[in-house]
Structure 1
Amino acid sequence: MAGNGNSGRPAKPASLHILQGNRSKKNFDELIEEIKSPAVPVAAPPMPDVLSDDAVAEWERLIPDLTALGLISTLDQMALATYCQAYADWLRYQRLIAQRNAQSTDDLGGDIQTFKTGAQQMHVLRQLANDAEKRANAAGAQFGFSPMARRNLKTAPAPQGELFPNEQRDAATRYFS
């Protein structure tokens, strides 16, 4: 059996084929077309109306950057909403923990919960905050919200710009034209 679509090395983006000299001899026009028109159009998905206020603020903060980088489409509503709500949950629990720590008099800062029997465990707010952090990190990795996740993203190449800045370009024009 030959394997499935996940077997082997991941496909190289068209921009890398061109930059590295197209050693695989793929059709140059097809590579250029792939760069110009991504498979999924870049557009902001509609924001769900069930998000909390902090999640809405995070959504509005991220959409312009994700759109500019070409990392968002209308198909990504669930993934982005999951990240934003997990982030909002994490913020809420962190605020509650800070409030509890400000009122706490013990050395542990309120992160340890002690029962009547003397048994101790991590406070439920800390457990909830840790869970929200894991959910936010997992959902955020899909959009490259960590250095390791960004390494694996396929993004459209940024425009290269001028080879020489203004005064160097002028000097190059004088001497080499």
Structure 2
Amino acid sequence: MAGNGNSGRPGLPASVHLLNGNRSKRSPAELLNEIKDPALPAAVPPMPDFLSGDAAAEWTRITGALLALGWVSRLDQMALATYCQAYGDWLRFQRLIAERNAKSDDGLGGEVQTFKTGAQQTHVLRQLANDAEKRANAAGAQFGLSPLARRNMRAAPAAQGDLFPNAERDAAAKYFN
């Protein structure tokens, strides 16, 4: 059976090709151009209007950092909205659990649900909070929002600008561009 677009190893970024000694058949100039001009420019997508207040606040909080790192583009609206809404849901459920815990005698009103028969189970609010946490962690990993996810991500080089004159660079640009 022939493979499809999902079979085989995923392609490597140009920077990895160069770091590994360029065992690929691509020219070094082509790889350098791919690094300098990414396929998708970094840009913040428009914030969806359906986000809750907490989710919109999280969108505003993280988009600046993601943009500075070059980890977000206009195509990432759904993934970013998914993370922000899951984070907003998690905050809401955590607040509700804290309120129920404060009102209960044993302090577990939002953690444990007791039925008339005496049976106990994890309270539905705790289950919803745990689900929102899982969704936020899964969607946030796409943007490097955990230490483990950041380990495998590389930030785009920050533009330094021309702070100082650089005669060597200017001379090389005359002959090699």
Shorter-chain TM-score above 0.5: yes
Identity of aligned residues (%): 72
Instruction: Tell me which residue corresponds to 1:66.
Output: 66
* Alpha carbons of structure 1 residues 74 and 68: separation in structure 2 relative to 1, 3 Å: same
* Alpha carbons of structure 1 residues 41 and 107: separation in structure 2 relative to 1, 3 Å: closer
SS at match of 2:106: coil
SS at match of 2:49: coil
Instruction: Tell me which residue corresponds to 2:55.
Output: 55
Encode CA deviations 1:56-82: one digit per residue, 9 max, x unaligned: 110011111111111111111111111
* Alpha carbons of structure 1 residues 39 and 4: separation in structure 2 relative to 1, 3 Å: same
Instruction: Tell me which residue corresponds to 2:39.
Output: 39
May I ask how many residue pairs the two structures share in their alignment? 160
Output the amino acid matched with 2:119: A
Instruction: Tell me which residue corresponds to 1:105.
Output: 105
User: How far did 1:38 drift?
Assistant: 1.3
User: How far did 1:152 drift?
Assistant: 4.2
SS at match of 1:42: coil
TM-score normalised over the length of structure 2: 0.80
Superposition map of 1:123-142 within 5 A:
123-142=123-142
C-alpha RMSD of the superposition: 2.2
Task: Provide the rounded CA distance (Å) in 2 between the counterparts of 1:73 and 1:94.
Answer: 31
- Please tell me whether the aligned partners of residues 98 and 110 of structure 2 are also in contact (alpha carbons under 8 angstroms): no
Instruction: Tell me which residue corresponds to 1:122.
Output: 122
Task: Provide the rounded CA distance (Å) in 2 between the counterparts of 1:73 and 1:80.
Answer: 10
Instruction: Tell me which residue corresponds to 1:75.
Output: 75
- Please tell me whether the aligned partners of residues 97 and 125 of structure 2 are also in contact (alpha carbons under 8 angstroms): yes
TM-score normalised over the length of structure 1: 0.80
* Alpha carbons of structure 1 residues 79 and 157: separation in structure 2 relative to 1, 3 Å: closer
User: How far did 1:144 drift?
Assistant: 1.9
Task: Provide the rounded CA distance (Å) in 1 between the counterparts of 2:34 and 2:110.
Answer: 54
Output the amino acid matched with 2:125: L
Task: Provide the rounded CA distance (Å) in 2 between the counterparts of 1:123 and 1:83.
Answer: 24
User: How far did 1:49 drift?
Assistant: 1.2
Tell me which stretches of 4 or more aligned residues in structure 1 moved more than 6 Å: none
User: How far did 1:133 drift?
Assistant: 0.8
- Give unpaired runs (5+ residues) of structure 2: 161-177
Output the amino acid matched with 1:71: W
- Give unpaired runs (5+ residues) of structure 1: 162-177
Q: 106-115 or 29-38, which moves further after superposition? A: 106-115
